[in-house]
């Protein structure tokens, strides 16, 4: 599947080496080899479209091979914020919704719409997510649910730099 994405006519143009933006990023567990995952910059895809309304989308879509068999999917939204006012929860929800329902399930169902062994949604911010002024917003974010491939998913707020772990088939 990684090869199929790397050779894809459109997706190959949006592959990057890292999932990083404005000093906020994710890392990979040392046991995950660089050739067993691919990072697609979803927001760059939508920004490249010549359309009036660009739907909000997450920063990174990461597909990785699981140990034994199958694949894992991690969607990552990176946010460098100066204050809790910089967090628009509705916009963050829309970013994940667009990526799941439009990018994966519609535009790039082939090759992306498969039954993943492991699916994670990460919201990574440079702000202390447990601070009192941000706590209610993070609680609201955690309570958002998405349906994808007969799975119910929730967003996990994390501090930089969370580590993408291996998944198991």
Per-residue pLDDT tens over the stretch 129-160? 656 556 677 778 889 999 999 999 999 988 88
Structural domain spans, the chain: 1-164
100-127 mean pLDDT:
95
Q: Can you give the pLDDT at residue 131?
A: 60
pLDDT of residue 84: 64
Helix (H, G, I), strand (E, B) or coil at 33: coil
Distance CA 95, CA 99 (A): 6
Alpha helices in the chain (DSSP H): 2-6, 42-48, 89-98, 109-112, 132-142
Contact assessment for residue 115 and residue 104, using Cβ atoms and an 8 Å cutoff:
no
> Looking at residue 86, what is its pLDDT?
72
Between CA 19 and CA 38 the distance in angstroms is 10
The confidence score (pLDDT) of residue 41 equals: 98
Question: For residue 130, what pLDDT is reported?
Answer: 59
41-98 pLDDT, tens digit per residue, is 999 999 999 999 999 999 999 999 999 899 999 999 999 877 666 778 899 999 999 9
């Amino acid at each position: 599947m990684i090869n199929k994405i790397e050779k894809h006519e459109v997706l190959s143009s949006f592959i990057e080496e890292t999932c990083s933006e404005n000093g906020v990023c994710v890392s990979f567990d040392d046991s995950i080899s660089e050739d067993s995952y691919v990072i697609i910059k979803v927001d760059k895809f939508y920004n490249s479209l010549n359309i009036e309304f660009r739907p909000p989308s997450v920063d990174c879509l990461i597909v990785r091979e699981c140990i034994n068999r199958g694949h894992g999917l991690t969607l990552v939204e990176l946010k460098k914020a100066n204050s809790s006012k910089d967090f628009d929860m509705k916009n963050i929800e829309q970013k994940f919704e667009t990526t799941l329902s439009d990018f994966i399930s519609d535009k790039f169902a082939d090759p992306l719409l498969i039954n993943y062994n492991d699916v994670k949604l990460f919201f990574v911010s440079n702000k202390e997510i447990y601070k009192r002024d941000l706590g209610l917003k993070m609680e609201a974010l955690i309570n958002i649910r998405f349906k994808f491939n007969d799975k119910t998913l929730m967003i996990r707020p994390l501090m930089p730099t969370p580590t993408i772990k291996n998944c198991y088939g």
